[in-house]
Structure 1
Amino acid sequence: MSDFTDPLTEVVTLLQPAARYTKYVQAAGGWRVRRSRPELAFYCAVLEGTCRILHDDGREILLEAGDFVLAPALHGFALASRQHYDGPDLDENHPPPRLPDGQYRLGEPDGPPEVRLVVGHCVFDSPDSALLLSLLPDLLTVRAHPRLATLVQLVGDESRAQRPAREMVLSRLLEVLLIEALRSSQDPDAGAHAAPGLLRGLADARLAMALRSLHAHPAAPWSMASLAREAALSRSSFFERFRREVGVAPMQYLLSWRMALAKRLLLREQASLVEVAQQVGYSSASTFSVAFSRHAGLPPSLFARHQRALPTA
């Protein structure tokens, strides 16, 4: 039954990443910037020098030149200088000063910079972004990856330009940037590590077969037994391995993915309720409506009207 499909690309495409800003930052001395808006995905490329990611739970990660950090939905962390700093935090309400050349300065205002960074935010316009983000690691660090540095440079260049189709180009670049960063977690030479989620599942050769089949045929009559056969594992082994690596039970993942696809289809005005139900594996509109209402908290028709009435970002 297996056809080739790329679950990671599907998830990132459904997330609909949109650019908010990219900043070139230089720093010297002691400084700390708190990141407190989880609705904004944060990324950072270290061009020169060193700095740290500080978790609120006390953990810290040292970043060096060439490293790239992606935080799709990380709560409670700060980007800080390598040296100890007891001063006040900068945050979205207290941004760093902007220099005449458009760059931003952290720490000591004078003297040569000790650290150069490219940092940015993007948002996810998907109505099911919380679900999709739960499939991804909350923080991913990739060591010395030149392809990511090139992509960040392109995002920065495009964000400063006022060329035609700028927003479309930025959206496509961000999709590529996110995919490149996420798939680097499966590259043993990238020094990356992913928490339980889709990436860990795809890194497991057996689970990857089941995941790709599920994504290729979301409307198929999947069961625990049929998914286990795709992975060439017993049902008990498949269940435990899937839950350990992906972080949720297989049938819960299937339901969540079907609902994410259904939300996208419902926002296409030409798709009828019957067609949506069939495309996500339900035998009738009524059984789909019951499942969707239980999952989303409101019936499919109300969901579609509500989403279309929301203001665009």
Structure 2
Amino acid sequence: MNQDLLSDVLRSVRLRGALYFHVNGTGAWAAEAPPSREIAAAVMPGSEHVIEFHAVISGSGWGSVVGGEPVRLDAGDVILFPHGNPHVISSAPGMRAPANPEGYFARVDEPRPFQLHLDAREIRLGKLHEDPPGTVLVCGFLGCDLRPFNPLIASLPQLMHLRSGSGQDWALQCMRQAATEASCPRPGGNAMLERLSEMLFIDAVRHYLRTLPDESSGWLAGLRDRHVGHALALMHAKPAEPWNVAELGRRVGLSRSAFHERFADMIGQTPMQYLTQWRMQAGAALLRDTGATVLSVAQDVGYESEASFSRAFKRSMGVPPASWRRQARAEPESGRRPALPDGDRI
């Protein structure tokens, strides 16, 4: 049941992936990524939030959030940055390199994934087999929606490090296949690389969930809790039900006050706050993906009238449901840098 909740959220927030770089680092090398929000329009057009990952195919290196503690990366390791923090991947800890958002926008029309050489002298594109062997990585991005409601991202750390041998051996094989696809493009290769990226992230989240300490809090910890996880499943399965704290508590086997306290302590919001946000997320998915009327969507997610749903939706998203639907269905920008107000800089 709890794994279904994870799938429920991942489908709802439109997780999608792409492989972007196939990298070979030789000698002393470093690559620094800017905050993902600065390059989102180039690497994952149409996504509100972008996650970056790196899988080490061979060799070794170090990875860290800028200003954070570096972790050693060995062959078979995967490192992810769920919050899109600026970060560094390098041959030794403490190294830095220029972060160039403009470079991502300059290459939006070029075939991907890029094959990238890194060394102490330069960064250049080209065929990887022309260089002597070094540290080989495949690097990609995952995009998803944050609004109206994405409880998963907030429950993940800034850096996720999956070590080789931590049950992720299949992931390394997938990334090796991705590297082969990047070097020798074939029909359907891009679609396969996208799916491999998504599978890697989902399994990373499942591994993180399995290894959470018992005293953890947050949405993922809530999935694992017998009482809170059951309540989340009830609300996800039937958002239109007239749930209240007393009924949810009764269904999960706790008193009203005990359930309310346990849920709020673990999830960080009350059950009714969570239910309202999930109803908005479920309603947004129906508006975007179906031709249902606003009234029908309102009733499907637990509102008696179109007006009450529209008020709640506008409070959450800033625009009425019909306007949001038109915006959501518009074609995403194809990687052009978004215009900024005078004086703003990325």
Could you give the per-residue CA deviations for residues 103-161 of structure 1, whole angstroms, max 9, x where no partner exists?
4222346985553222112323x473773554441432222221222333344455663
Q: Write out aligned runs for 1:178-197 (5 A).
A: 178-188=201-211, 196-197=217-218
Residue 198 (structure 2) pairs with residue 175 (structure 1): yes
One-letter amino acid of the counterpart of residue 97, structure 2 = P
Residue 97 (structure 2) pairs with residue 88 (structure 1): yes
Q: Are the aligned partners of 2:56 and 2:73 in contact in 1 as well (CA < 8 Å)?
A: yes
Residue from 185, 192, 195 that aligns with 1:161: 185
Deviation at residue 296 of structure 1 after TM alignment:
1.0
Could you give the per-residue CA deviations for residues 14-34 of structure 1, whole angstroms, max 9, x where no partner exists?
232334433222223433322
- The aligned residue for residue 136 of structure 2 is 116
- The aligned residue for residue 118 of structure 2 is 106
Q: Are the aligned partners of 2:147 and 2:317 in contact in 1 as well (CA < 8 Å)?
A: no
Q: Distance in 2 between matches of 1:312 and 1:88?
A: 29
- The aligned residue for residue 88 of structure 2 is 78
- The aligned residue for residue 152 of structure 1 is 175
1:6 partner SS? helix
The percentage of counterpart residues that share the same residue type is: 30
Deviation at residue 202 of structure 1 after TM alignment:
1.6
- The aligned residue for residue 163 of structure 2 is 143
Could you give the per-residue CA deviations for residues 242-283 of structure 1, whole angstroms, max 9, x where no partner exists?
344334333222222211111111124520112101111112
Deviation at residue 213 of structure 1 after TM alignment:
1.9
2:240 partner SS? coil
TM-score (norm 2): 0.73
Where does the alignment leave 5 or more consecutive residues of structure 2 unmatched?
Answer: 38-48, 105-113, 123-130, 335-346
The verdict on how the C-alpha distance between 1:141 and 1:167 changes in structure 2, with shifts beyond 3 A counting, is same
Q: Distance in 1 between matches of 2:26 and 2:148?
A: 36
One-letter amino acid of the counterpart of residue 179, structure 1 = I
Residue 282 (structure 2) pairs with residue 272 (structure 1): no
Number of matched pairs = 300
1:141 partner SS? strand
The verdict on how the C-alpha distance between 1:244 and 1:63 changes in structure 2, with shifts beyond 3 A counting, is farther
1:40 partner SS? strand
Could you give the per-residue CA deviations for residues 191-230 of structure 1, whole angstroms, max 9, x where no partner exists?
9999854322223233222222221112222222233334
One-letter amino acid of the counterpart of residue 33, structure 1 = A
Q: Are the aligned partners of 1:54 and 1:80 in contact in 2 as well (CA < 8 Å)?
A: no
One-letter amino acid of the counterpart of residue 292, structure 1 = F
Q: Distance in 2 between matches of 1:151 and 1:222?
A: 43
Q: Distance in 2 between matches of 1:130 and 1:213?
A: 17
Could you give the per-residue CA deviations for residues 156-205 of structure 1, whole angstroms, max 9, x where no partner exists?
455663414x55544444433322121111334xx999985432222323
Could you give the per-residue CA deviations for residues 23-79 of structure 1, whole angstroms, max 9, x where no partner exists?
222223433322222443111112233322322343333333322222232323322
1:229 partner SS? helix
- The aligned residue for residue 99 of structure 1 is none
Residue from 6, 24, 27 that aligns with 1:26: 24
1:233 partner SS? coil
- The aligned residue for residue 231 of structure 2 is 210
Where does the alignment leave 5 or more consecutive residues of structure 1 unmatched?
Answer: 96-101
- The aligned residue for residue 76 of structure 2 is 66
Q: Distance in 2 between matches of 1:107 and 1:241?
A: 52
The verdict on how the C-alpha distance between 1:141 and 1:220 changes in structure 2, with shifts beyond 3 A counting, is farther
Q: Distance in 1 between matches of 2:99 and 2:133?
A: 18
- The aligned residue for residue 225 of structure 1 is 246
CA RMSD of aligned residues (A): 3.3
The verdict on how the C-alpha distance between 1:130 and 1:251 changes in structure 2, with shifts beyond 3 A counting, is closer
